[in-house]
Amino acid sequence: MLLLVLGKGKTGSLVAQVARERGHSVRVMDRENAGAAALTAPLLAHVDVVIDFTTPAAAVENMRACLALGARIVVGTTGWYDQLSDMKALAFKRGGGLLYGTNYSLSVQKFFRMTEELARLKGYSYSITETHHTSKLDAPSGTAITLKEIVLAANPAATVEITSHREGDASGLHTITAKSESDLIELKHESFGRRGFAEGAVRAAEWLGGKNGVWEFREIFDKV
The residue ranges of every structural domain in the chain are 2-104+195-223, 106-190
Task: Exactly one of 10, 88, 136, 179 is catalytic; name it.
Answer: 136
Strand 72-75 with 125-132, pairing: unpaired
**Would you state the pLDDT for residue 8?**
87
Of 100, 28, 14, whose CA–CA distance to 63 is shortest?
100
DSSP string, 61-105: HHHHHHHHTT-EEEE---S-GGGHHHHHHHHHHHT-EEEE-S---
Q: What angle do CA 109, 70, 197 make, to 5 degrees?
A: 25
Q: Contacts by 79-82 with C-beta closer than 8 Å and gap 24+?
A: 79/55, 79/137, 79/138, 79/142, 80/56, 81/142
* Tens place of pLDDT per residue across the chain (224 aa): 999 999 988 889 999 999 999 999 999 997 554 455 578 898 899 999 999 999 899 999 999 999 999 999 999 998 899 999 999 999 999 999 999 999 999 999 999 999 999 999 999 999 999 999 888 878 899 899 999 999 999 999 999 999 999 989 888 899 999 999 999 999 999 999 889 999 999 999 999 999 999 999 999 999 99
Same fold, 2-104+195-223 and 106-190: no
**Would you state the pLDDT for residue 136?**
80
189 is catalytic: no
- The CATH label, of 3.30.360.10, 3.40.50.720, 3.30.1490.20, 2.140.10.10, for the domain at 106-190 is 3.30.360.10
What is the Cα–Cα distance from 199 to 86, expressed in whole angstroms? Answer: 28
pTM score, whole prediction: 0.86
Task: Exactly one of 132, 148, 174, 189 is catalytic; name it.
Answer: 132
* Number of CB atoms found within 10 A of residue 26's CB: 18
Q: Are 128 and 162 in contact (CB under 8 A)?
A: yes
Is CATH 3.40.50.410 correct for 2-104+195-223?
Answer: no
24 is catalytic: no
Q: Are 188 and 155 in contact (CB under 8 A)?
A: no
